Chain A
Amino acid sequence: MNVQFKKGVLDLCVLAMLKDSDRYGYELASTLSETIKISDGTVYPLLRKLASDGLVASYLQESQSGPPRKYYSLTASGKIRLQELLDDWNAFTASVNKIVGGRNA
């Protein structure tokens, strides 16, 4: 997998997790590292980059326990980007599966 592709996939994962509900960093990091081998710590710089690209926004919300949590949400352009990445991903996996004979082919 080349770096550009990987970058897209990680972005896709994070954006997809934010599709249905806003989440805070810890939640994103621990959910992501359950299925993907990635250090929790690298999720935060990724979120920061997505935020500076305007794909996600963050806000603080009080929590019942402890200090306020920093939640991340998809912006309008984040939603568009998510759809693009999703289309790319589906097209990519579909064509590769056609060749390698995957179940989804």
Chain B
Amino acid sequence: MNKNEYISALRSQLRRLPSNDVDEIVKEFEAHFDMGIADGKTEFEIAQKLGAPEEVAQYYLSDEVPQFEVKNDGNGTSAGFPIIPVKTGWVIDRGVGPQTAAGFANGQYARPVNNQPPKPEPSDAPNAHVGAKAKETYEKVGPQGQKNIPLPPYPEYPSQNPGRVTKQPKDCHILFAWLFTIFVFIPVWILALALVLLLIAAPIGLGVLCVGLFTWVPGMSVGVGGTVCLAIASAFAAIGAAFVAFFALKGFVLGTIAYIRYIASGCKSKGGNV
């Protein structure tokens, strides 16, 4: 967590306070960062020593008292990171330094009731990159050389651990897809094609029919009847042609190609954008 991230996290945690109070507090933390940087520390180190913004904000928002331990220089367990004060549950790493095994051993960290490692919190996922770094430090460097103390497993965030994520469920079963193709898609395609053909055939048939009909009507001349029939037939032909052009070309051809690609790829491709 760098200065800006820390400050904005703190600011958002403190949003319940009046804004001039927040400004005042934030100014002090900014000054703290600046002085630390002038001291040659990195922003990350400074953030680590400050403790999680959530925890710091807690003390501004409540009457709670910061917890502390007296450092014991005698046995080497004292050189740990500043401990993030805890209320309940685990200190889940939020990029503010690893928990130390020494800390676990002498109970500096609150443990959950069942003594299990902390569960990943969805809200921690955005900090995965920080978490990964902290995990590395935790596992490699170990807690200040206290390697003989067994480490509780580092909490995993699902986003960081693809190995544990089960395979993505497919929303398309390949057998079902083929059955659907054979028994539904192809019959519908044929039916649609037949409909289009019918639309082409209809004007011709209708034209022939009504020419015969009108010439039969007494008193109506072949010329008038023929013109009316031609007009009707042409209208149907135009509609039919429009349908053919629209569906046959765009809908059927592109749609079919997309569908076949979708099935052939084992339902992986989206099918569209042919």
By the criterion CB–CB under 8 Å, are A10 and B35 in contact?
Answer: no
A38 to B108 Cα, complex, angstroms = 12
A35, A40, A65: the one within 8 Å of B38 (CB): A65
Instruction: Judge whether B68 and A37 touch: CB under 8 Å.
Output: yes
Q: Which of B77-85, B178-186, B205-213, B216-224 contacts A (4 or more CB under 8 A)?
A: B77-85
Contact pick for B31, options A7, A10, A25, A33, CB 8 Å: A25
Determine how close the nearest CB of chain B comes to the CB of A10; give it in whole angstroms.
Answer: 7
Assembled-state Cα–Cα distance A26/B65 (Å) = 19
Interface of A is mostly: helix
Interface string of B58-97 (1 = CB under 8 A from A): 0110010111111100000010101111000000000000
Pair A25/B82 contact, Cβ less than 8 Å: no
Interface residues on B, range: 20 to 34
Find out whether the CB atom of B28 lies under 8 angstroms from the CB atom of A38: no
CB < 8 Å neighbour of B56 from A10, A33, A39: A39
- Can you name the residue of chain B whose Cβ is closest to the Cβ of A6? B65
Chain A residue at minimal CB-CB distance from B53: A41
- What is the count of residue pairs linking A and B with beta-carbon distances less than 8 angstroms? 96
Whether, in the assembled complex, B247 has its beta carbon less than 8 Å from a beta carbon of chain A, the answer is: no
Cβ B68 vs Cβ A6 within 8 A: yes
Q: Which residues does chain A contribute within 8 Å of B68, judged by CB atoms?
A: 6, 10, 36-38, 42
Asked if A101 is an interface residue, CB under 8 A from chain B, the answer is: no
Is A26 in contact with B83, judged by CB distance below 8 angstroms?
Answer: no
Stretch at the interface among A44-52, A82-90, A91-99: A44-52
User: Do A46 and B66 have beta carbons less than 8 Å apart?
Assistant: yes
- Is B49 an interface residue when CB atoms closer than 8 A count as contact? yes
Instruction: Count residues of A near B (Cβ-Cβ below 8 Å).
Output: 28
Kindly report which residue of chain A lies nearest to residue B96, judged by CB atoms.
A39
CB of B226 closer than 8 Å to a CB of A? no
Known: A40-B50, A44-B25, A48-B25. A26 touches B31 (CB 8 A): yes
Which residue of the partner chain B has the closest CB to A69?
B31
Using Cβ atoms and an 8 Å threshold, which residues of chain A touch B124? Answer: none
Contacts of A39 in B (CB 8 A): 49-51, 55-56, 66, 82-85
For the complex formed, measure the closest distance between the CB of B39 and the CB atoms of chain A, giving whole angstroms: 8
Interface string of B17-42 (1 = CB under 8 A from A): 00000000101110110111010000
In the complex, are the beta carbons of B70 and A36 less than 8 A apart? yes
B49 to A7, Cβ gap below 8 A?
A: no
Smallest CB gap from B83: residue in A: A37
Question: Can you list, as one digit per residue, whether each of A3-25 has a CB less than 8 Å from chain B (1) or not (0)?
Answer: 10011001000000000000011
Cross-chain contact B32 with A26 (CB below 8 angstroms): yes
The listed residue (A7, A26, A41, A49) touching B35 by CB distance below 8 A is: A26
A46 near B38 with CB under 8 A, answer no
Q: In angstroms, how far is the closest chain B Cβ from the Cβ of A31?
A: 13
B35 and A40: CB pair below 8 A?
Answer: no
Determine how close the nearest CB of chain B comes to the CB of A79; give it in whole angstroms. Answer: 22
- A45: B residues at CB distance < 8 A: 56, 59-60, 66
**Interface pairs (11), CB distance under 8 Å:** A10-B65, A35-B71, A36-B68, A38-B66, A38-B85, A40-B51, A42-B51, A42-B55, A45-B56, A45-B59, A66-B35
Residues of A within 8 A of B (CB): 3, 6-7, 10, 24-26, 29, 33, 35-46, 48-49, 65-67, 69-70
Seed contacts A3-B65, A42-B66; 5 additional CB < 8 Å A-B pairs: A6-B65, A25-B31, A33-B49, A41-B29, A70-B28
